[in-house]
Structure 1
């Protein structure tokens, strides 16, 4: 094994067993969400018509294949995915470099999520002026083909993960065109176990030419599809009831703010653990392409079902909106403070110098907890779920799932920092004992 790509010894998610459980279990969760969000299966509260669900399931292999490989849906999704790839390559943007890699190089990135998102919104608005009674066939297609689209995104995420795993074994050509060089593998995905490495991601930054597959999937096809799925629910409710409820409008608004805020701060992704440390395998492929659009849109899809309408009234809407504002403030203010400290603007703040020469901020927001920004992010999640009322715990799945995700990230970060900073990290944890929520965890 080369010095550039040392063998991975630690395995996340309890190794192969955990990876297998996630690979099988999470796609089934998405299918369950889709079944219980189908208007045909009375989903008021927890009273799900299991008999109706079973009756609607494919009865043989042929029907199953027709559902999973609907040619029209596949054509639409492939046009969506590769259309965005084309736009990613041709739209102008800011040129930035990523963090330094183990071979001393830095990758170049074109940050153009804003023009791409503006183009999508402009096209949608333009379409509204071309149709009668706000009837958009594109949004209706998404709503009417949710189950087929869920299958399509899941299968495509498997295919993409297989593709990037396969190319990770092909050496790269040198920039001068002479000879080849090793690809840089993920520190987590070089165990030698084919299944685990495929799941966690073997190569750190799989690319085809200038197209960075990982960064593209992080904020493009899945996030923007989530936006369209939410709009399709709003579209469906308007044409079914003749009006839209304030709860569904609020969910659309709050989640749109969140996802477009991510696009506006796309450059920040270059320093995220997903980009700097994790490889791109099934975990990220499935998460980006299937999990985000079909689990994050759960609240909107639930509220769009006839009989599940929730009318909040102005004061409840304001309270939920205030919760998102508070969450955003904590999230952004904390991250900005850390960025300013790294850039030397806040040297007056208390910090701990580590053996590597870097400093651990232990003041301001970062004296309250080690990951105070995570708490802000979690509060934002609550603002998405509360508009659904208390008819069912199903719509609160996101805050439970996201809490477990944030805790897992915090544990991983703690292990990495403890190994990297040693006694300095012990000193830091004494000064800042709380992990995420001050005085609680």
Structure 2
């Protein structure tokens, strides 16, 4: 019997250490230490009602004198053992059940408040498991008796009025009703997964069948015109080609933020992948392989890309289900599986344990955008033996954007997207649709055979240089500061300390607006659209959409930083009141 109890205690995740028996301690005091005076009095009354009288047994319950030692062993009562004072300790690491985790998630959605309130949830779980345990020889009278043994300074009860006042003073998020929280999630999922692909596909259909005019569309392609096995094979081969080039052990290794495999390593060989990809396509064109056939099959290419995005999002969803907790996306610790599929379960998933999936998707996007625009320009050159100013300017801007990212690829691990964005179906769709969305500018130039004057080329160049300086200079300043805040090159900049031990730049580019890199990115796309002239409005749907998305993203980043830095971020917002556009937004 004794061995069974010992084995049961070892299996239990909660260790109950009994205090050493002190025979000189009065029986009443021992009981009052564990249960309290009120609980002891209640038990004594219940025994007296059952007929157990203290006078008949020769014991006085009202006195606190110790019993004299007796050599004769009196027969023990077959009653429940009395609770003694004990210390409760938890084995390290703490194994928190899914029930406790779900209870924490329902309390607060914010991560910082979860860490604070988790202690109280664990304490309540301890008391519940102790009181319901049958293998333990002791029982706990109530939850408050267990909580009384734990430090009161660490106990946070979210239902307490005092705690509510503390949470309100520290701007912690309030409890949310599950019904009001589920509706925005479903709206986000439906909007993000179906509306962008449908809009991009619709715009390409009107460009193919109606010369990029929306008001006179009178026909749609048949169902068989949406699919092409040859084009699907080319896309799959292109993706595997990017995976193979990324596995090459060539390029500088940089270290990113900590992940599920420790500190992640990034091999910066994106520029090598671009040159090798262009070389392969140039070789196919040299040997007269049907490379330019993609121009006539853009709709099947886009259709298969959308299907491939959903498929990769589902694969990443399944892969994230087996990932350790440290690598999960904090925004997806919810029971809604569709939201996890939408936002991504992991922050930095790895392929073959070496390739970062996030970096691989970005390389596939940029190299694909460069190839599609180049192949369309190559088709025009084969027929006319020359390129217009508009098409040449468009190709130069496209190429510079691609080469700029890969040249400064070693700074990507310090960006918000690399450290906090989840890799889900939304992330895959965003980067797989971007080449086709920006292709509308090139397609509009080719369909209408647009020519722009020299002053338009100068205006486009001026906008591009301005946007590039703002975008790249602000990103470099932030990356260098994060790498070494004590860098002498940044000694003239003013900083502000935060509660996380990090510092925020309050002068320089980041003292002008809160997100100068987003401002530069927006100007770059307006310059790109201006390369098609001002006679058609469809190309300007690209910079308008990018502007709207950057404004939404700036708001989301501000909310994230406000939760992370709390009052320090509010002080920074007071010093830098504008998010993207100075004096406007």
Q: What TM-score do you get using the length of structure 1 for normalisation?
A: 0.86
Which is further off, 157-166 or 206-215? 206-215
Equivalent residue, structure 2, for 1:229: 372
Equivalent-residue separation in structure 2 for 1:316 and 1:248 (angstroms): 13
Q: Give the whole-Å Cα distance in 2 for the aligned partners of 1:34 and 1:115.
A: 31
- Quote how far apart the aligned CAs of 1:91 are: 4.8
What is aligned with 2:310? 158
The 2-side partners of 1:13 and 1:309 are apart by 47
Highest CA radius of gyration, 1 or 2? 2
Give the C-alpha shift of residue 189 in structure 1.
Answer: 2.1
1:108-133, Cα deviation, whole Å (9 max, x unpaired): 222210111122233455566656xx
What SS does structure 1 have at the residue aligned with 2:304? helix
Structure 1 residue ranges without an equivalent (≥5) = 59-63, 172-180
Q: Give 2:414's match in structure 1, choosing from 247, 254, 271.
A: 271
SS of 2:330's equivalent in the other structure is: coil
Mapping of residues 205-244 of structure 1, within 5 Å: 205-209=348-352, 210-218=354-362, 220-244=363-387
Comparing 12-21 with 104-113, which one deviates more in the overlay?
Answer: 12-21
**2:203 maps to which residue?**
33
Within-5 A mapping of 1:66-215 = 66-101=224-259, 105-125=262-282, 137-138=290-291, 140-170=292-322, 182=325, 184-209=327-352, 210-215=354-359
Q: CA deviation at 1:204?
A: 1.9
CA contact 1:199–1:283 (8 Å) conserved in 2: yes
SS in 1 for 2:263: coil
Residue in structure 2 matched with residue 320 of structure 1 by the alignment: 460
CA distance 1:317–1:13, shift in 2 (3 Å): farther
8 Å contact 1:382–1:399 — kept in the other structure? yes
Q: Secondary structure at the match of 1:107?
A: strand
Aligned length: 410
**Alignment partner, residue 412 of structure 1:** 556
Query: 1:293 maps to which residue?
Result: 435
TM-score by length of 2: 0.66
**Which of 214, 217, 222 is the aligned partner of 1:50?**
217
Contact 1:42 1:48 in 2 (8 A): no
In structure 2, which of residues 540, 543, 546 is the aligned counterpart of residue 396 of structure 1?
Answer: 540
Structure with the larger RCO, 1 or 2 (CA within 8 Å, 6+ apart): 1
Residue 434 of structure 1 pairs with residue 434 of structure 2: no
**Aligned residues of 2:201 and 2:299 also touching (Cα < 8 A):** yes
Greater alpha carbon shift after TM alignment, 149-158 vs 224-233: 224-233
Change (3 A) 1:130 1:225: same
Contact kept in structure 2, 1:188 and 1:278, CA below 8 Å: no
Counterpart of 1:281 (choices 411, 424, 428) is: 424
Matches of 2:411 and 2:284, distance apart in 1: 32
In 2 relative to 1, CA 88–167 (structure 1 residues): closer, same or farther, beyond 3 Å?
same
* Deviation digits for residues 124-167 of structure 1 (CA, Å, limit 9, x no counterpart): 55566656xxxx731x1221110110011100001000111012
Deviation of 1:216 (Å): 0.5
Following superposition, the deviation at residue 381 of structure 1 comes to 0.7
How much does 1:241 deviate? 4.1
When structure 1 is superposed on structure 2, of 376-385 and 351-360 the one drifting more is 351-360
Matches of 1:340 and 1:265, distance apart in 2: 12
Q: CA deviation at 1:412?
A: 1.3
In structure 2, what is the Cα distance between the partners aligned to 1:270 and 1:365? 20
Q: Residues 345-360 of structure 1: matches in 2 within 5 Å?
A: 345=487, 346-360=490-504
Please tell me the root mean square deviation across aligned C-alpha atoms, in Å: 2.5
Aligned to 1:37, the other structure's residue is in SS state helix
> What's the offset of the Cα at 1:183?
6.5
CA contact (8 A) 1:354 1:360 kept: yes
Assess if the C-alpha contact under 8 Å between 1:160 and 1:285 holds in 2: yes
CA gap 1:130/1:75 in 2 versus in 1, 3 angstroms: closer
Q: Distance in 2 between matches of 1:190 and 1:123?
A: 43
Measure how far apart 1:431 and its partner are: 1.3
Judged with a 3 Å threshold, the aligned counterparts in structure 2 of structure 1 residues 282 and 97 are, in CA distance, closer, same or farther, namely same
Q: Which runs of 5+ in 2 are unaligned?
A: 1-96, 111-180
Q: CA deviation at 1:82?
A: 0.9
Which residue in the other structure is 1:175 paired with?
none
Q: Report whether the alignment pairs 1:309 with 2:449.
A: yes
- Rounded to whole Å, the distance in 2 between the matches of 1:298 and 1:17 is 27
Q: Cα distance, 1:27 vs. partner?
A: 1.1
